[in-house]
Structure 1
Amino acid sequence: MSDENNQNLLERLTSEIDDARWDILKPHHEREALFMINDELELPAVGYTMASDQVEYIKKWLADGQMYRPTDEQIELWEKNNTEFKYLIVQPYVLVKIKKEGLV
């Protein structure tokens, strides 16, 4: 991919980030397509890495715990607290980050 195409993809992914509560994301979790992203990673960068099939980075993030599937305990807490998330769809996956208060 050219640098311009790379930049266009990153910009498109950034513009596609949206907000949701757990009830909207739950079906994606149930079909095992949802991955949490920790605070060290950014949704557009991870989405770009997935879209460009850079498997070695994904494997590293999974091994390091920077990218993971949520636990039942986390889900229970999110449902109880009505937690809000930022999410990005990179077919067939959904990348999710907890929305921090006060941040856009």
Structure 2
Amino acid sequence: MHEASAEQPEVPLEEQAGPLPWKDLMPHFARGVVIRVAPELDLIEVARAIRDDATHQVSEWLANDQVARASDDDARRWAANDPIFTAIVAAPWVLAQERTPAH
């Protein structure tokens, strides 16, 4: 292996997260790959835990329903409210966290 063929540096997770409207998240939901992340959690921390296979931490969030595969009920609520999410890919999943509506 040559030095010139070294892997490209990985883009930090913080730079990979961004806003995503429900209409753009919907196709991912239809494929069954959307993971709902509770608003009290740090989305980047959750993505990092999933990427790094931090089973104990992810299991704790799953047990507390803070992280879960998006359900049909979630989709119905999102379709009715049309929220904007902060989303990030943690392959094969798309993690989505509803933004708090402005008051």
* TM-score, length-scaled by structure 1: 0.78
Q: How many pairs are equivalent?
A: 94
The 3-state SS of whatever aligns with 1:97 is: strand
Post-superposition shift, 1:64?
Answer: 1.0
| Cross-structure match for 2:78 | 78
* Structure whose alpha-carbon radius of gyration is higher: 2
Q: Share of identical aligned residues, percent?
A: 24
Distance 1:98 1:89 in 2: 15
TM-score scaled by length of structure 2: 0.79
Q: Return structure 1 stretches of 4+ with deviation > 3 angstroms.
A: none
- Unpaired segments of 5 or more residues in structure 1? 1-7
Give, as a single letter, the amino acid of the residue that structure 1 aligns with 2:17. Answer: I
RMSD: 2.0
Give the equivalent residue in structure 1 for 2:20: 20
Partner AA of 1:22 in structure 2: W
Measure how far apart 1:77 and its partner are: 2.3
Q: CA deviation at 1:40?
A: 2.1
User: SS state of the match for residue 20, structure 2?
Assistant: strand
Structure 1: which amino acid aligns with 2:15? Answer: S
Deviations 1:1-41 (A, max 9, x none): xxxxxxx97x8111111111112112222222111111221
